[in-house]
Amino acid sequence: MGSTGTPGNQGDIHGERLLPDPDICRTSAIGSIRSFATCHVVGPSECRHAMGYGDGYLCKHPDWQQFLKE
C-alpha cells in the first residue's frame, strides 16, 4: 500500500500533494556529484527519493536536475 492508503500508489504525501512535485521540489548540486543532490523541501521525509543526511536531506530522484533551485 502507498502512503495514501491506496494500493499501488507510487507517490508520497506532502500535505495534499504527492512528492516528487515540480511545484514543490527544489534541489541544488553538490560539487561534481551527479548521482544525488541537496534537497531543499521542508519536511521531505515522506518522499521516497529523500534520504536523511546530517541535519538535512539528499534527493536521490533520478532526474533531480529538473528541480534545481534558481
DSSP assignments along 14-56, one per residue: ETTEEES-TTT--EEEETTEEEEEEE--SS-TTSTTEEEETTE
CA distance 40 to 44: 9
Q: Read off the pTM.
A: 0.73
Q: What is the pLDDT of residue 49?
A: 96
Q: What is the pLDDT of residue 8?
A: 38
Note whether residue 5 is domain-resident.
Answer: no
Note whether residue 48 is domain-resident.
Answer: no
Q: Which residue has the cell 533531480?
A: 64
Q: What is the pLDDT of residue 55?
A: 94
Q: What is the pLDDT of residue 46?
A: 87
Residues of the chain with pLDDT under 50: 1-10
Taking only the tens place, the pLDDT of each residue in 45-63 is 889 999 999 999 999 999 9
* Domain interval for residue 29: 13-38
The total domain count for the chain is 1
Note whether residue 21 is domain-resident.
Answer: yes
Note whether residue 25 is domain-resident.
Answer: yes
